[in-house]
Amino acid sequence: TAIVEGLAQRIIAGDVPESLRDKTVVSLDMGSMVAGAKYRGEVEERLKAVLDDIKNSAGQIITFIDELHTIVGAGATGESAMDAG
């Protein structure tokens, strides 16, 4: 988290390579993405919508997902390759 926050501060200050100038750093709160979802498909639909927005940003968004390991396999009912642990 500290590294991403530092990067965001450097982008704001303009202290980054040209390829990072004018980029937007977005922290994706996976807890909010999962909250209230009754089925695995709901989480996947929400995530797909966010990823589509990011894809349509023409490379202007840098996405940070903190604590991703805590939600990998969220909503799964059995073992899968994506399940943590």
Looking up residue 11, the CATH number of its domain turns out to be 3.40.50.300
Domains contained in the chain, number: 1
Residue 59 placed within a domain: yes
The pTM for the full model equals: 0.68
pLDDT at 1 over 60: yes
What number of other Cβ atoms are within 10 A of residue 29's Cβ? 12
Residues in the chain, total: 85
Q: Report how far residue 64's alpha carbon sits from residue 24's, in angstroms, rounded to the nearest whole number.
A: 11
Residue 80 placed within a domain: no
- The residue segments making up the domain with residue 43 are 2-70
Confidence of residue 73 (pLDDT cuts 50, 70, 90): low
pLDDT at 83 over 60: no
Confidence of residue 77 (pLDDT cuts 50, 70, 90): low
Give the pLDDT score at 84. Answer: 46
Give the pLDDT score at 72. Answer: 67
Residue 50 placed within a domain: yes
Give the pLDDT score at 71. Answer: 60
